[in-house]
Amino acid sequence: MAVKKITKRWLFNNLGVILVILIALEVIFAFGIREFYYSSVRSTILAQSSVITSQLTSYAEDSSTVFASQVRTLVENFQERERMELMAIDINGKVTFTSSGFEPGNEVYMPDFTEALRSNSGSAEMVDVVNGEKIMAITVISPVVGEQLAAMRIAVSLDRIDQQIILFILIITLVCVAILFFVIFSSSYFINSIVNPVGEIGATARKIAQGDFGARLHKKNDDEIGELCDTINYMAEELSANERMKNDFISSVSHELRTPLTAIKGWAETLTDMHEEIDPDTLGKGMRVINGETERLAQMVEELLDFSRLQSGRIQLVRENLDLIAELSDAVIMYEERAKHEGKQLVYEEPDLIASFYGDRNRLRQVFVNIIDNALKYSDQGDTITIQAGVSEGMIYIEVADTGCGIREADLPRIKEKFFKANATRRGSGIGLAMADEIVSMHGGSLEITSKETVGTKVTIRLPVGQG
């Protein structure tokens, strides 16, 4: 629809304006060329009439010659007889002599003669069609008026001149038509090179909007349209990647939710079936599992809610003065038993210093918990997790390093993206690290990750002392 509108708008506006301009130019040219030729003929006739008037004056002053005979000789020997006709007119308005040698009829249409007699200038002009022929005639009153001569009249046929004018108009018309065809040809190129690709872009964008993330545009030219094609293709790739991450996230979260729910359901059914014969040890074990898995579910739900708040920009930091090292130590204590149970070594020596910081206690502890949990999650039995903290150059640094499976070099640039999981075999939703990075950034700090596959990973958090 949009492409059709652009094409119609271009045809009606652009092509219409060009057509109007060409028509206007042709009309102006036609009037101009006609005026030019007619003015040239008029100037030539006036020049000849001046010469003839001068000769008549000289004849009248020469008493030795017969005036009428001289006039007749003048008319018959008129040098321009091939281009124009010279006529001698008597006082009664009849043509007595002509340069063509033909005797004129009794009735000759000469309104210019009558006008010349009445005019103060002694001359008059006529452009009209006489006997099917268009002529221009100029009548000049003779300086000596008698019965045989009252005026001299010069007439020129305009048919050939009109034919010449028509030829020029035809030529300029052909030029205008050629210009119009060139404009139409260039327009077709414009439509093929711009409007049609825009239509293809619109169609591909609609496919992408409908979920076909495999749709791609073919870049034909390295221009703005080509750049737009690259942008659409890049958008499709990003949407496809986000769609895959979303699906992986849903699958991962579903698996993460299913595991504790299965454990809770299994123990609940076991305890229900035992009735009065329930063993206290079994009851205690079952309740511990149910309680632990319920807490794990609550933590996952809270993490998802936090992520939702982060995406909508509704996370609010509740800042207060705190000791960042003490908060880190509390987080480490939470994982000591788990590390022993999983056969992993958790190494941490609390530094003898106070790292004053103004920030959100719960959010920062959430960051520490997430980083330490990831270190344990991506480590195997016998691996070591080393935690260090200190103050250097006005920055509080916290390092959590493990000797676990590490991260592939290709995955490292995307490790902090939401939903992205470098290792799908390990549990997790893929949003914890993105949350941690955002929280640290909101406190004016940075979170850096270095890793090597099969060697281990190190996460470094830097926060400004006394700020947040």
> SS3 of 402, please?
strand
Kindly tell me if the per-residue pLDDT of 311 is higher than 70: no
**Strand 123-130 and strand 95-98: pairing?**
unpaired
Q: Same domain for 322 and 288?
A: no
316, 323, 463 from 327: Cα distances, Å:
19, 7, 14
Q: pLDDT tens, 242-290?
A: 777 777 767 767 766 777 788 888 878 777 777 666 777 777 887 888 8
Half-sphere exposure of 370 (CA within 13 A, CB side): 28
Rounded-to-10 torsion of CA 131, 132, 135, 141? 10
pLDDT bin (cut points 50, 70, 90) of residue 302 is: confident
Beta pairing partners, 386: 347, 401
Q: Is the separation of the CB atoms in 360 and 467 below 8 Å? A: no
Domain finish residue from 276, 311, 346: 311
Q: Provide the percentage of residues in the chain whose pLDDT is more than 90.
A: 13
Q: Same domain for 278 and 333?
A: no
Is residue 256 assigned to a domain?
A: yes
Q: Same domain for 16 and 161?
A: yes
Q: Same domain for 412 and 444?
A: yes
Is residue 446 assigned to a domain?
A: yes
Q: pLDDT tens, 185-209?
A: 877 777 777 777 777 888 888 888 8
Rounded to whole angstroms, the Cα distance separating 24 from 392 reads 82
Residues spanned by the domain of 75: 2-166
Kindly tell me if the per-residue pLDDT of 140 is higher than 90: no
Both tokens of 434, joined, read: 């993105």
**pLDDT: which is higher, 314 or 142:** 142
Q: Same domain for 302 and 331?
A: no
User: How far, rounded to the nearest angstrom, does the alpha carbon of residue 210 sit from its chain's CA centroid?
Assistant: 23
Is residue 195 assigned to a domain?
A: no
pLDDT bin (cut points 50, 70, 90) of residue 454 is: confident
Nearest of 366, 359, 362, 358 to residue 436 by alpha carbon? 366
Q: Same domain for 294 and 323?
A: no
Rounded-to-10 torsion of CA 48, 51, 52, 57? 160
> SS3 of 347, please?
strand
Is residue 355 assigned to a domain?
A: yes
Q: Provide the percentage of residues in the chain whose pLDDT is more than 70.
A: 89
**Strand 384-392 and strand 345-348: pairing?**
parallel
Q: Same domain for 299 and 364?
A: no
Question: Mean pLDDT over residues 212-230, rounded?
Answer: 82
Q: Same domain for 307 and 410?
A: no
Q: Same domain for 299 and 325?
A: no
Query: CATH number for the domain including 370?
Result: 3.30.565.10
Domain finish residue from 294, 311, 328: 311
Is residue 173 assigned to a domain?
A: no
pLDDT bin (cut points 50, 70, 90) of residue 1 is: very low
Predicted local distance difference test score (pLDDT) of residue 51: 87
Q: pLDDT tens, 88-124?
A: 888 888 888 888 776 655 567 788 888 888 887 778 8
Predicted local distance difference test score (pLDDT) of residue 402: 93
Rounded to whole angstroms, the Cα distance separating 117 from 140 reads 9
**pLDDT: which is higher, 196 or 367:** 367
Query: CATH number for the domain including 13?
Result: 3.30.450.20
Rounded to whole angstroms, the Cα distance separating 165 from 384 reads 102
Is residue 187 assigned to a domain?
A: no
Place of tokens 């300029």: 172
Domain finish residue from 286, 311, 336: 311
Angle, helices 224-274 vs 196-209, to 10°: value is 10
Q: pLDDT tens, 15-48?
A: 788 888 989 998 999 999 999 999 998 898 888 8
Q: Same domain for 285 and 339?
A: no
Rounded to whole angstroms, the Cα distance separating 91 from 202 reads 87
Task: Read off the pTM.
Answer: 0.48
Question: Taking the CB of residue 17, how many other CB atoms lie within 10 A of it?
Answer: 10
Predicted local distance difference test score (pLDDT) of residue 407: 85
What is the number of domains present in the chain? 3
Q: Same domain for 378 and 454?
A: yes
Q: Same domain for 295 and 380?
A: no
Is residue 199 assigned to a domain?
A: no
Beta pairing partners, 464: 395
Q: What Rg, from alpha-carbon coordinates, does the chain have?
A: 53
DSSP, res 194: I
Is residue 403 assigned to a domain?
A: yes
Predicted local distance difference test score (pLDDT) of residue 446: 92
Predicted local distance difference test score (pLDDT) of residue 189: 76
> SS3 of 100, please?
coil
